[in-house]
Structure 1
């Protein structure tokens, strides 16, 4: 998928670690984008060129038809190991003639990560891809029958897509309760009005992308935190690890060296509330990179 791309990139080197500051990426493809609809009433029909993203459950000729849209953005420009600071997904309403021309009914939505491959011009209800409910995003019932769905927070879903890129193939959008009569009518990337195309805005930090050769499991509790937090990690052989804390602009804030246990206590001290990036690694490049949030 080709995309409208907006990048701001600053490379700084701190203590031998290459840190790329926050990058802003805007994706809003046109007809070259990848999206489709699948319908239960016509389970072998492909709708890869539909101009709408229209999750609905409707009775047609006495039969229930459930429609689920799928959409995938091209994330290939985001380096492996990047930390997603935030990601916002936007969809835009447009009037359509069938089955209804406005949002209606009990139309709360859920957005899920697709975990198997699908092809825009061959996907159908019968061969629809699998999804995971991990970090799925819930959207409440529409408050206006012509509202846009702007700045939906899909940060955790995007992080999952970067962390597990081989098993990430976009979003599936469906009604939370697929019961008639309910619908949400939004424009797809095939709509003639480019201003209505779905948009994904991502802010990410490629911190330490080339420094972590093999990742280990890390848990941080609590996160977010107010005063202190405990980072636990795999270290069965009591190897020496170094912990570094960075601001999202790439500047080094704190270093804790020669950690040979499996726990690190992180003190807030005088740090202001906000998002921070940490890196934990040993001399062989084994470790992890992630986010810390101070409230």
Structure 2
């Protein structure tokens, strides 16, 4: 009788269900929206146009006909919003690839490389845009939105005139964007020191070679 009672009690115990294993996910976005903006002291109209058509992202401080000119680049990835609600982002990497020697601006490539006659300190900063949204056709030097330096990431100076790639850890900035995905205004890439004869270039989303277009890879757990 006792054995039957114990057996009955044991059979009534709820089966313990182990907690679900976290699910890993990855989002790859190689369909960026991007453009560079420019100014030139020799022609004010430069500051009201942009290079959204160009096959490169350009971060430049140079001269044109002896007068100062400069460029900054803006880039945005819309698939950030596809990170599931409640997921934890473990990694977000921005991959930038070389454009090559056939470029529209400037003609001398990266200023940082062994034997360069120009400043080799062409390091850049990637910063999060916070002020307002922008689009490829409408962004200009004159109306470029503001950025925050919080969690900004350095792109080291280049070591090649034409063949320089960068892997940039933007995890903290992507996490900030996910706090309010409606304010995904992208990133600005600009020279750390905007003194003349510094330049860094990468392929843009308009590049005919899809394999060198900018790419954002996000890894998460849910």
TM-score normalised by L of structure 1: 0.60
The 5 A counterparts of 1:205-284 are 205=221, 207=222
- Determine the C-alpha separation between the residues in 1 that align with 2:184 and 2:150: 12
What's 2:126 paired with? 111
Q: Distance in 1 between matches of 2:104 and 2:184?
A: 33
Q: Any conservation in 1 of the 2:124–2:154 contact (CA below 8 Å)?
A: yes
Say which SS state the counterpart of residue 195 (structure 1) adopts.
Answer: helix
Structure 1 stretches of 4+ with a deviation exceeding 3 A read: none
SS of residue matched to 2:51: coil
User: What's the CA shift string for 1:20-49, capped at 9, x where partnerless?
Assistant: 5111111112xxx41011112211113222
Match of 2:37 in 1: 38
Partner of 2:176: 160
Aligned to 1:174: 190
Single out whichever of 72-81 and 114-123 deviates more from structure 2: 72-81
Q: Distance in 2 between matches of 1:111 and 1:82?
A: 24
Do the aligned residues in 2 keep the contact of 1:82 with 1:162 (CA within 8 Å)? no
Judged with a 3 Å threshold, the aligned counterparts in structure 2 of structure 1 residues 190 and 97 are, in CA distance, closer, same or farther, namely closer
User: For residue 23 of structure 1, what is the aligned residue in structure 2?
Assistant: 25
Aligned to 2:109: 102
Return the alpha-carbon distance in structure 2 between the equivalents of residues 88 and 103 of structure 1: 22
Which residue pairs with 1:4 in the alignment? Answer: none
3-state SS of 2:47 partner? coil
2:144 and 2:176 mapped to 1: Cα distance?
A: 21
Identify which of structures 1 and 2 has the higher relative contact order when contacts are C-alpha pairs closer than 8 Å and 6+ apart: 2
Q: In 1, Cα distance between the equivalents of 2:144 and 2:105?
A: 23
Partners of 1:170 and 1:131 in 2: how far apart?
Answer: 10
- Correspondence for 2:82 among 77, 90, 101: 77
Higher helix share: 2
**Residue correspondences, number:** 189
Does residue 1:50 correspond to 2:66, yes or no?
A: no
Higher strand share: 1
Deviation at 1:81, TM superposition (A): 3.7
Give the Cα separation in 1 of the matches to 2:205 and 2:191. 20
Using the alignment, how far apart are the partners of 1:20 and 1:146 within structure 2?
42
Q: Matches of 1:72 and 1:14 in 2, distance apart?
A: 40
What does 1:198-209 correspond to in 2, within 5 Å? 198-205=214-221, 207=222
In the alignment, is the contact (CA less than 8 A) between 2:98 and 2:163 conserved in 1? yes
* Counterpart check, 1:93 vs 2:98: yes
Q: Deviations over 1:91-131 (max 9, x none)?
A: 11122253234211321100000112001111101111111
- Structure 2, unpaired ranges of 5+: 1-16, 41-45, 112-118
- Bigger mean CA offset, 119-128 vs 91-100: 91-100
| Residue in structure 2 matching 1:68, options 42, 55, 72 | 72
